[in-house]
Amino acid sequence: MINYSDEYTKKVKYEIEGKNYKYKINTFGCELNINDSEKIAGMLEEMGFSKTDNDEEANIILFNTCCVRENAEEKLFGKLGEIKRIHEEKGTLVAIGGCMMQEPSMIEKLKSSYKYVDIIFGTHTIHNLPENIYKVLAERKKVKDVINIDGEIVEGIPVKREDKYKASVTIMYGCNKFCTYCIVPYVRGRERSRNPEIILKEIEELSKEGYKEITLLGQSVNSYVGNNKIKNFADLLDSVAKIPGIEIIRFESPYPSDFKDDVIDVMAKNKNISRVIHMPLQAGNSKVLKEMNRKYSKEDFLELVKKVNEKIPDAVFTTDLIVGFPGETDEEFEDTLDIVRKVDFEQIYMYIYSKREGTIAANREDQVPDDVKHKRFNKLKDLYDKRIDEINNRYLGTIQEILIEGKSKNNENMLTGRTDSNKVVVFKPIEKVEIGDLVKVKILSNHKWYLEGEIVQ
């Protein structure tokens, strides 16, 4: 572990003093990337930059990239094309970081076709951003700062969180699982867990600042390894649950076969741990799971769901599913539909398999044709769509405890928040109730993608 140094933060601050410099960050990808962007924003603000949402106004435009899905690449290159003019006219600095920059082919592409990019940084070198900005500002250098070895855990990076009541805290970096379709272990490195005492101190501070909901993050969050006192994920979860003021604790994403009895027991005894468990299944067929290098079978997954339901009767499951993994037959896909019928998933994030260069599955010759993949995807979507109404209707008449997140985006006169199971609920404001309060809301109607209710005293 190393401590963040603010040596270059001060130098940049001096360099841009009085110039009213602004930054804009474009974030692609998962919660971990969003959390990294909060650190990037934190460092920039310490350097003296302020935030803008307008490219034209920005003095530095940053991209925090993702390489898990193909369309993230298209989005990045589309956006880079758009800002070339701004860079040329105004001298705006352009910096690109994140997972995609850990792929050598991407760096080559940037160097040959997007020569105007000033800073390229990887997933292990985010903390060097002040130094890299200084090199560009003061020394007029282009910077490439990417390392392929697992980076150190850097503590003490300033964080600028968008939300005032909900905060994400990364507890581990990297992944050791090597699922055959996934690029993450190659771009984020091996698992490294943060010191538990430092994590708990950070959450205690967040609680003092008024944060009520904490999400613990990791690529395989329950593979967390602690120390002699707080040994594993179950111990850490139990300790977080005891921090005064933290009313809701979530975690994502757990790996099914690492979801051990101790975690289930800790959840069962601590009511402030969310009952929503995002358990990425990926496929319903055991042979496909084996070929994905997932360490559980269909039967193991069903057994785990049964065990959780026995100890936590109000548990709610959500999941990720991939359709059209190489070699998947129609019969094997039927197992995915079968498990969706058997497990009451409240939400399913569905993906059509797409090749990620550098992974084992991408080199397989038995790729499923696109039309077949789409047909299977639509079948799964139809099945799930039919179930949404059924699931939502179960909420009618129930009273849900909701953290008020703000005004509804579609109706300024309404407030919005989420049920513990992550369903969006809108409701009319009442006197003496403010954003950030926890309120009881009676659910009155179902609008498929959201529920409507009223605050009850």
Binding site for ligand SF4 (CB under 6 A): 175, 177-179, 182, 184-185, 219-220, 255
Query: How far apart are alpha carbons 396 and 419 in whole angstroms?
Result: 13
Query: How far apart are alpha carbons 45 and 285 in whole angstroms?
Result: 48
Q: How far is the CB of 182 from ligand SF4 (least distance, A)?
A: 3
Task: Check: CB of residue 311 under 8 Å from CB of residue 268.
Answer: yes
Cβ proximity to ligand SF4: between 84 and 190 the closer is 190
Token readout for 30 is 């998962």
Cβ proximity to ligand SF4: between 270 and 297 the closer is 297
Query: How far apart are alpha carbons 68 and 181 in whole angstroms?
Result: 9
Per the document, the length of the chain is 457
Q: How far is the CB of 251 from ligand SF4 (least distance, A)?
A: 14
Q: How far is the CB of 246 from ligand SF4 (least distance, A)?
A: 26
Cβ proximity to ligand SF4: between 255 and 395 the closer is 255
Task: Check: CB of residue 189 under 8 Å from CB of residue 147.
Answer: no
Cβ proximity to ligand SF4: between 61 and 175 the closer is 175
Task: Check: CB of residue 220 under 8 Å from CB of residue 258.
Answer: yes
Displacement of CA 159 from its chain's centroid (Å) = 16
Strand 438-446 versus strand 399-403 pairing type: antiparallel
Nearest Cα neighbor of 246 from 278, 281, 273, 280 is: 273
Cβ proximity to ligand SF4: between 226 and 280 the closer is 280
Q: How far is the CB of 361 from ligand SF4 (least distance, A)?
A: 11
Q: How far is the CB of 352 from ligand SF4 (least distance, A)?
A: 16
Query: How far apart are alpha carbons 224 and 216 in whole angstroms?
Result: 11
Cβ proximity to ligand SF4: between 126 and 281 the closer is 281
Task: Name the 3-class secondary structure at 196.
Answer: helix
Q: How far is the CB of 317 from ligand SF4 (least distance, A)?
A: 17
| Terminal CA-CA length for the chain | 48
List C-alpha distances in Å: 309 to 301, 306, 419. 12, 5, 19
Q: How far is the CB of 184 from ligand SF4 (least distance, A)?
A: 4
Cβ proximity to ligand SF4: between 133 and 289 the closer is 289
